[in-house]
Amino acid sequence: TKKIRTISVSSGKTISCGCLASEVLEKRNFVHGFSRSKFYHTWTNMMSRCYNPKSKRYINYGKRGIEVCKEWHNLETFIEWATLTYIDNLTLDRIDVDGNYEPSNCRWTNITTQNQNSQKIRSNNKSGYRGVSLHKKARKWRVTININKKQIHLGFFDDAKSGAEAYDKYIMDNKLEHTT
């Protein structure tokens, strides 16, 4: 209930109690209705990494030529795919880190798998191999792998390549989803 002067109503200056303004504003701001979807932010972040040069992550995605398939440019299509494939508490990951975002190259994984399925090797890594680093005291190449926030020591090796081979063998023997 709202008190309004009769003259304001009869002159047309006031046409509602205030509800109409809320309705008009809601209709004006309504774009697609998916902003509350749990996949909306996944989609906007994916699109930004690939197409927005101002995004901090663009250099590792769009600048490298990583794209989003045409079907997924449509938010609704992406949400349909995500709804059918999503597994609780996992995040979107590209199987081939050099491949595009598309249904055949995407899956839902945990952070450990995503970190291991990365093109990045730490900048301070002198070996050039994932998980292989020079141990100064032992004067050998130390090989470790992180699984579920636990570091596993795989041994010391005389050369980096042997260490890398041991790392890859561990991944394959234990059927880990991992970049070798």
pLDDT at 134 over 90: no
- How high is the pLDDT of residue 158? 92
> How confident is residue 121, by pLDDT bands cut at 50, 70 and 90?
low
- Alpha carbon distances (Å) from 97 to 39, 40, 47, 60, 132: 21, 22, 16, 10, 20
Of all residues in the chain, the percent with pLDDT exceeding 70 is: 81
What pLDDT digit, counting tens, does each position of 32-46 carry?
Answer: 556 777 899 999 999
Of all residues in the chain, the percent with pLDDT exceeding 90 is: 40
What's the predicted TM-score (pTM) here?
Answer: 0.56
More confident residue, 9 or 140: 140
Cα 25 to the center of its chain, rounded Å: 33
pLDDT at 113 over 80: no
Distance between CA atoms of 120 and 69, rounded to whole angstroms?
23
